[in-house]
Amino acid sequence: MDLGLHGRRAIVTGASRGIGLAVAEALAAEGASVALVARDAAGLAAAADRVARHGGPVLPLSADTTDDPAVHGMVDRVVGEWGGVDVLVNCAARPASAGATPPLAALTDDDVRAELETKVLGYLRCARAVAPHMTAGGWGRIVNVSGLNALRTGSLVGSVRNVAVAAMTANLADELGPAGITVTCVHPGMTVTERTAAMVADRAARDGVDEAEAARRMAAGTSIGRLVTAAEVADLVAFLASPRSAGITGESIAVGGGTRGVIHY
């Protein structure tokens, strides 16, 4: 299926690795021009080389989404190079497994602020910067990569930040819809990326089992019996970023391989 993304101009934040990089590749493979945004200059350069193999224009940009002037500078650079921006995929955030959430007695305001500053306010800054350009063009797609912690307990900070992203998505969809802009949210679960091998090894050591058993246990909660890959998440994001997703906005879509024993409605 041709998603109709050829010639579209996309910005992907958090694009130096993981889901963000997979999304950048998926959009490039569909013929979009892709600006890759991340803080790590070395990782960004390697990612840009990988995405460039798809043959389209690639623009690596080092920027910190916690810095509003840096965000506006990044968007201005894309608009200056390509004349506008059609797609924004917000993916710049700390991984959900970056560290255990402290118990309530030890949880500080700064623990929460650090997550909201990057994932919630960072996403908002990028949306705010691109929206005028999308509005001027009469078309746009904003896709926010959130996470399944929005749908379950177990990580207070993870749930708060991801629910906030979903709520922001729905509100922006209402505001921007009349200008031809859709805003959607994707909730990945634990996803196979370059970090997975180390996570499996850690789980094996902790549980005293071999790595095959550790991997099985990590995937046991999914309906499909395995972890979803970053490329599979990127396939959904690419569809939502395309003209073919015109009837979907304000929605949050899970892409974690299914959650056994749970009904969301």
Indicate the residue type of 121.
L
pLDDT digits (tens, 9 = 90+) for 154-209: 888 889 999 999 999 999 999 999 999 999 999 999 898 888 888 888 888 899 98
pLDDT digits (tens, 9 = 90+) for 23-38: 999 999 999 999 999 9
CA dist 124 → 147, 196, 199, 222, 245 (Å): 16, 29, 30, 31, 22
CA dist 220 → 110, 212, 256, 260, 261 (Å): 33, 12, 12, 9, 12
Q: Tell me the whole-structure pTM to 2 decimals.
A: 0.94
List domains and CATH numbers for the chain.
9-190+227-254 (3.40.50.720)
CA dist 187 → 3, 55, 226 (Å): 21, 29, 16
- Position 262 scores a pLDDT of 80
Question: What is the DSSP-derived secondary structure letter of residue 222?
Answer: B
| Structural contact between residues 65 and 92, judged by C-beta atoms closer than 8 angstroms | yes
- Position 261 scores a pLDDT of 84
Q: What phi, psi does 23 have (nearest 5°)?
A: -65, -45
Confidence grade of residue 66 (pLDDT, cut at 50, 70, 90): very high
pLDDT above 70 for 98: no
